[in-house]
Structure formats: C-alpha cells, structure tokens
Amino acid sequence: MKYSEHYIENNVIDASNYGFINWVDNVEQIVKQQIFFELLDLPDEDYMLNWIKGTTPKEMANIIFKNNQFLINFSKY
C-alpha cells in the first residue's frame, strides 16, 4: 500500500491535502526506484512537517536514505 493511500484512508481529505498527497507520492516514487521499499515499509518520518517546511521530494528521499543508512547517488536526477 502506498503511503498516500494510507493517509487518505485515515484522514479527512479536502483541497488542502492534495499538495501533500502529490508530494509524498513523488517521495515514494524516488525511494521505491532506488531501494525497492514503500514508505510504509520503512521507519516513520515526519513527512507532513517536511512538506510544510518546503523540503523537495529529492531532499526528503535523501533524509530517508540517510536515516536508514542507504547511500544513493542522485547525480542522475
């Protein structure tokens, strides 16, 4: 299950949520392409706070990789 699907199932969704949902889908796409894990399979991160702070999906993916000790080369992005 994608993180965004889990989020939608457990929260009240309105127009203000769609930016976050799209952002977290982009984060999950990057992570899954690199390490073949979905976000729900990894330890929790504060996705909403990072989205509010303006963290890009690539930056958030790097945070995830660092926190989970994955070393990924993003030079191709």
User: Which tens digit of pLDDT belongs to each residue from 21-72?
Assistant: 999 999 999 999 999 999 999 999 999 999 999 999 999 999 999 998 875 5
Q: What pLDDT sits at residue 61?
A: 96
Tokens linked to 77 = 């992005």
Q: What pLDDT sits at residue 16?
A: 86
| Residue 74 confidence class, pLDDT cut points 50, 70, 90 | low
9-34 pLDDT, tens digit per residue, is: 999 999 889 999 999 999 999 999 99
Tokens linked to 69 = 């000790």
∠65-9-44 over CA atoms, to 5°?
A: 25
Rounded distance between C-alpha atoms, residue 3 and residue 68, angstroms = 17
